[in-house]
């Protein structure tokens, strides 16, 4: 019995000692794992560091205000926008009609479900942004400036990302409305920016003069379409049809250094989107689940000069989007993040950067030089940072 009591006493002492050691922090606290987005980028080699200048003899007298050094200079060159406004800032192509430069770009919300495919008018957009909506389904925000397209759709409601896209492109927004949770956020965000506006309408049937109209050969809510000509007239009526200040992209016909790439696959949960490069045309052709996608206006495949994969943080919110209880996703397209630009059968990696000014949105490589897009249209695939939507290339 005595030995048993001694053993129990010894065990109690050891347990007490371990507890004291843990409480006093004798064991080192593990370092937190740094956050690294699940993104692999191919980027040009950084430019070599410039050889420093030889030291100069400093004057002994106090410098006058005229000779004081200026403040730090940004390592990003200013945007070189055409001074005469003759080039479309979204495509890098000259305007065929100078009057186009005077109108405001339109961002039109287009659905992407089986009931609406093939969509109408996506092939005539200057820029198309594809992003996740609730339930893993994607939705498009398509920008129109070059072409006066009279049937685009089907048009659906806006999402949280559409608060930011009009500021990024300095454009007017066209959609069937927003959920009750999104509307006050949009109003607050746009409160001090008088140039931002939204055309929201449920659309009468077969209206030839309306910005949006419904057709009788499809069932609601998939039968709503937009007319850019009438939308620009509505902006005229509101005194909002002013040119965009957007000057964030640069264009270059000659492709920069890049990793040879023939196929880009974006594995959204609702179906993998693939872009295949055609060297004969110099363009990327879109397919969904292995089926080539076409534009219902002309039955031609959807193609683009540039595919941009943009990584941004996705945060599920408490905003309810529909009667099923699906929650809205806040896609945080502000600040900066990784980007992959695909053009001319090659990939160039870097980062997207968005400043505080309306119309500030650009792509930079590892040397802080703007990644030149190929003149023509651009599709932007927005995906989460942490790899929930894998992006594969070959």
Domain CATH for 317:
3.50.90.10
At a CB cut-off of 8 Å and minimum separation 6, what does 172 contact?
104, 105, 106, 107, 166, 196, 197, 198, 199, 231, 235, 240
Per the structure, how many domains does the chain have? 1
> Which tops the pLDDT comparison, 134 or 272?
272
Between the two ends of the chain, the Cα-to-Cα distance in Å is 75
Assess if residue 44 is contained within a domain.
Answer: no
User: Looking at residue 43, what is its pLDDT?
Assistant: 73
Span 107-118, average pLDDT: 96
Assess if residue 184 is contained within a domain.
Answer: yes
Asked if the model's pLDDT at residue 45 lies above 80, the reply is no
Q: Is 164 helix (H, G, I), strand (E, B) or coil?
A: helix
User: Looking at residue 279, what is its pLDDT?
Assistant: 98
User: Looking at residue 53, what is its pLDDT?
Assistant: 54
User: Looking at residue 17, what is its pLDDT?
Assistant: 45
Per-residue tokens: 339: 């980007």
User: Looking at residue 74, what is its pLDDT?
Assistant: 32
> Which tops the pLDDT comparison, 180 or 306?
306
pLDDT tens figures, 193-212: 888 999 998 889 989 999 99
**How do beta strands 198-200 and 172-175 pair?**
parallel
User: Looking at residue 37, what is its pLDDT?
Assistant: 52
Give the pLDDT band (50/70/90) at residue 331.
very high
Sign of the Cα pseudo-torsion (44, 45, 46, 51, in order): negative
Assess if residue 171 is contained within a domain.
Answer: yes
Portion of the chain with pLDDT greater than 90, in percent:
70
Span 16-34, average pLDDT: 48
User: Looking at residue 326, what is its pLDDT?
Assistant: 85
Per-residue tokens: 181: 């949770």
Mean model confidence pLDDT for the chain: 85
Span 183-197, average pLDDT: 89
pLDDT tens figures, 202-247: 889 989 999 999 999 899 999 999 999 999 999 999 999 999 999 9
Asked if the model's pLDDT at residue 274 lies above 90, the reply is yes
Assess if residue 71 is contained within a domain.
Answer: no
User: Looking at residue 41, what is its pLDDT?
Assistant: 73
Neighbours of 240 (CB within 10 A): 16
Asked if the model's pLDDT at residue 375 lies above 70, the reply is yes
User: Looking at residue 14, what is its pLDDT?
Assistant: 44
> Which tops the pLDDT comparison, 78 or 89?
89
Per-residue tokens: 77: 């060159």
Domain that holds residue 166: 98-393
pLDDT tens figures, 345-362: 999 999 999 999 999 999
Assess if residue 90 is contained within a domain.
Answer: no
Span 16-28, average pLDDT: 46
Asked if the model's pLDDT at residue 54 lies above 60, the reply is no
Give the pLDDT band (50/70/90) at residue 65.
very low
Span 143-151, average pLDDT: 97
Bridge partners, residue 213, by sequence: 225
Asked if the model's pLDDT at residue 333 lies above 50, the reply is yes
User: Looking at residue 202, what is its pLDDT?
Assistant: 80
Asked if the model's pLDDT at residue 22 lies above 50, the reply is no
Asked if the model's pLDDT at residue 80 lies above 50, the reply is no
The answer to whether residues 139 and 153 touch, using CB atoms and an 8 Å cutoff, is no
Give the range among 181-185, 275-279, 388-392 with minimum mean pLDDT.
Answer: 181-185
Per-residue tokens: 192: 């001090």
Per-residue tokens: 324: 């099923």
Span 98-106, average pLDDT: 95
- Structure pTM? 0.82
């Amino acid at each position: 019995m005595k030995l048993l009591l001694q053993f129990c006493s010894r065990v109690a002492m050891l347990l007490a000692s371990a507890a004291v050691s843990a409480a006093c922090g004798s064991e080192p606290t593990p370092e937190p794992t740094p956050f690294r987005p699940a993104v692999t980028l191919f980027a040009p080699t950084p430019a070599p560091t410039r050889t420093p200048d030889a030291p100069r003899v400093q004057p002994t007298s106090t410098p006058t205000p005229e000779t004081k050094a200026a403040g730090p200079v940004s390592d990003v060159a200013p945007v070189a926008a055409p001074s005469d406004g003759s080039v479309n800032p979204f495509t890098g192509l000259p305007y065929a009609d100078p009057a186009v430069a005077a109108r405001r770009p339109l961002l039109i919300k287009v659905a992407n479900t089986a009931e609406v495919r093939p969509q109408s008018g996506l092939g005539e957009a200057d820029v198309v942004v594809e992003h996740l909506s609730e339930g893993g389904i994607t939705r498009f925000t398509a920008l129109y400036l070059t072409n006066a397209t009279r049937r685009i759709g089907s048009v659906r409601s806006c999402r949280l990302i559409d608060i930011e896209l009009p500021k990024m492109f300095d454009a007017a927004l066209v959609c069937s409305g927003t959920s009750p949770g999104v509307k006050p956020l949009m109003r607050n965000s746009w409160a001090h920016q008088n140039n931002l506006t939204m055309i929201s309408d449920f659309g009468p049937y077969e209206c030839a003069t309306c910005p949006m109209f419904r057709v009788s050969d499809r069932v609601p809510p998939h039968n709503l379409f937009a007319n850019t000509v009438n939308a620009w007239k509505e902006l005229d009526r509101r005194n909002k049809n002013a040119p965009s200040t957007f000057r964030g992209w640069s264009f270059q016909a000659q492709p920069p250094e890049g990793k040879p790439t023939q196929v880009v696959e974006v594995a959204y949960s609702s179906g993998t989107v693939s872009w295949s490069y055609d060297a004969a045309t110099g363009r990327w052709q879109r397919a969904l689940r292995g089926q080539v996608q076409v534009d219902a206006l002309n039955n031609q495949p959807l193609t683009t000069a540039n595919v941009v994969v943009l990584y941004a943080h996705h945060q599920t919110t408490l905003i309810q989007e529909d009667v099923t209880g699906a929650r809205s996703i806040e896609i945080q397209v502000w600040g900066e993040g990784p980007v992959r630009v695909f053009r001319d059968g090659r990939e160039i990696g870097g980062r997207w950067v968005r400043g505080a000014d309306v119309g500030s949105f650009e792509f930079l490589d590892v040397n802080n030089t703007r990644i030149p897009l190929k003149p023509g249209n651009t599709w932007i695939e927005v995906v989460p940072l942490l790899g929930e939507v894998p992006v594969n290339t070959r």
